[in-house]
Structure 1
Amino acid sequence: MSDPVRGFAVAASVTARAGRTYHLASLLLPAARRRAVHALYAYARMVDDAVDSGLPPEIAGARIDLLENGLRAALRSEPAPAALSVDDADVLAALAVAVADNGIAASTFDAFGRSMRMDLPGSPLFRNRYRSFDELAEYTYGSAAVIGLQLIPVLDADPSLADGAALLGEAFQLTNFIRDVAEDLRRDRVYLPLDELAAFGVDEAMLSADLDRRRTSRPVRRAVAHLIAVNRDQYRRTASAIAGLPPTTRPAIAAAARSYSDILRVLDDADHDVMALRAVVPRRTRLRHAATSLVVPYR
């Protein structure tokens, strides 16, 4: 039988290694809520890593199918599929405990899986270009908004905060897209809405030329500055939802929001040269954000 206790430990290790901002923020949570966050993060990382593994699409798709089937089995208290590794099976068992303990809607995992398949060449859902923010929202609902919705019960939050939680997830996601323009281009993906880029005279040929020379042209920098302003407005509109969280869980989310939104400040300081660097917020700054969030309201 799978071991959920070991699974929570594995999930914590995955989060510490791959999600440093989230892991640091999670340390501000009570232990039971922290372990649920780790299990959710580890599952999302497992599926996302399958998409980005570089494996042939049919093999990556089979891996996603296996993880989803393993989660369904765990939620039904059934044995894990034999093809799962011990670590995977234990993490899924831990996630099933977190889902049951917190009343997380199982449908959110279906929405997440759908968006992950939108990244997978060969899938009927595959899409690697988005014409507008409306089109992008079809992807970010499953990739990010539902993560916020999953956290509502974990954080002991009032369900009325769901819209703010979903928006914060999407804000984190847009920050990723802005920061990772070069990395995504190398994978033949453009997550920044094409109509927003076109308003600044930016097309795919310009993006590709900038990537090749590892230097961001002035029109792309202006487009990035605009998208940063859009992203900052998303964070601003989540402030009331963060303020509405219980005192026991509010500091963790405030710390994550401060640290993630600070990526935008790093990009500003680099004059929006997204092709030359991957913006990183230093650990000492993230520690300061965590300490600040214990005593200062997020706004």
Structure 2
Amino acid sequence: MSRTVQPAGQAGREALLQEGYRRAAGLTWRYGTTYYWGAALLPKARRRHVHAVYALCRLADDIVDDQAVVDRGDTVATGAALEAFADRFRTAVTAEEAGDPTGDDPVMAAVAATVVACGIDRECFDRFFGAMAMDLTTSRYETWDDLCGYMEGSAAVIGEMMLPVLEPTSPMAQEPARALGLAFQLTNFLRDVDEDLDRGRVYVPQEDLRRFGVDLTAADGSGRRATPQWRAFLAFQIARNRELYALADTGIALLPGRSARCVGAARVLYSQILERIEAADYDVFSTRARVPTWRKATTAARIMVAGPPTPPVRTALPGPGRTADHVAPYPR
């Protein structure tokens, strides 16, 4: 059984935090390279806070995905593991706020220090853990609004968590930050359709699949092919995704220089995934769209020198139902 200890003095505390931030950076480098290269444009003191927030979200997501395999579908056991993790987080933050940090988990100590130092609203994490718990019971979303209800806690709220780290110059930056969180996650969903199907999950609206004549879960496996119907469906979702990026772009000017470069780099890199999906003729089943590491590094370097890119021109949605409600305002 792991024992709880109080690090010996300030030196022990600093060593624990240093190790925690180092591990958080490692997790970001391994699993979230776009975040990693974007954060590289921030001053070191703020960069580590991006790593800490990402690490917390990554570890929680791993519990839902990996522990579910260990538990062989026992959602009660996986839910208990997720709740225990959330409790450890809340305990660590409460202790940090009281000025009496305890514990021997370096990453959790770093996360708690970041939450308190940056003044991140703890309610954001309640919404986040709530969305993670949804993955244990919900595998399909009927409408775009239904999917946004899930992404409210799994994606939009990540933008809210990151915003205090970025030190915006106006409160009007909040909605664009939320939109960027949604845009990033929708990009992941479109890229990872095949992988999510293997987990028994579909993170695209069922009503849209029907509208375009796509059955991803067809018994004969025909749903996992880049048919004309699938290409039309995915083109529609990519256009919706770009509308979210366009809304997010309006917030870049509300960030100080280094933060604007950080967000601009991450935005460019993530949106390039959509370009690679298009270049592969919308086939996300036989290959995974990736932006190579060298391109991420050179993009970050270019933006560091030249500044964030000029927001692209908004384009109309393709396909049936080209109305604004298909890029609907997401629920709060």
TM-score, with normalisation over the residues of structure 1? 0.91
Match of 2:143 in 1: 132
Residue type of the alignment partner of 1:55 = V
Aligned residue among 270, 277, 294 for 1:284: 294
What pairs with 1:1-299 in structure 2 (closer than 5 Å)? 1=6, 3-53=16-66, 54-56=69-71, 57-77=75-95, 79-80=102-103, 89-120=105-136, 126-157=137-168, 158-206=170-218, 209-210=221-222, 215-294=225-304, 295-298=306-309, 299=311
Q: 1:47 to 1:90 in 2, by over 3 A?
A: same
Larger Rg: 2
1:249 aligned counterpart, secondary structure: helix
2:257 aligned counterpart, secondary structure: coil
Aligned-residue offset at 1:170: 0.2
Unaligned runs of 5+ in 2: 1-5, 8-15, 96-100, 312-332
* Aligned mates of 2:22, 2:65 — CA distance in 1: 24
1:225-284 per-residue CA deviation (whole Å, 9 max, x = no partner) reads 111111112111211101221102111110000000000000000000011111001112
Identify which range, 126-135 or 199-208, moves more after superposition: 199-208
Identify which range, 26-35 or 194-203, moves more after superposition: 194-203
Unaligned runs of 5+ in 1: 81-85, 121-125
1:174-215 per-residue CA deviation (whole Å, 9 max, x = no partner) reads 00010000001111111101111222111244497246xx63
Maintained 8 Å contact 1:201/1:219: yes
Aligned-residue offset at 1:58: 2.9
Identify which range, 134-143 or 49-58, moves more after superposition: 49-58
Maintained 8 Å contact 2:216/2:222: no
| Count of aligned pairs between the two proteins | 285
Residue type of the alignment partner of 1:24 = W
Residue type of the alignment partner of 1:175 = T
Identify which range, 141-150 or 287-296, moves more after superposition: 287-296
Maintained 8 Å contact 1:185/1:208: no
RMSD: 1.6
TM-score, with normalisation over the residues of structure 2? 0.82
* Aligned mates of 1:208, 1:232 — CA distance in 2: 33
Aligned-residue offset at 1:36: 0.6
Residue type of the alignment partner of 1:116 = M
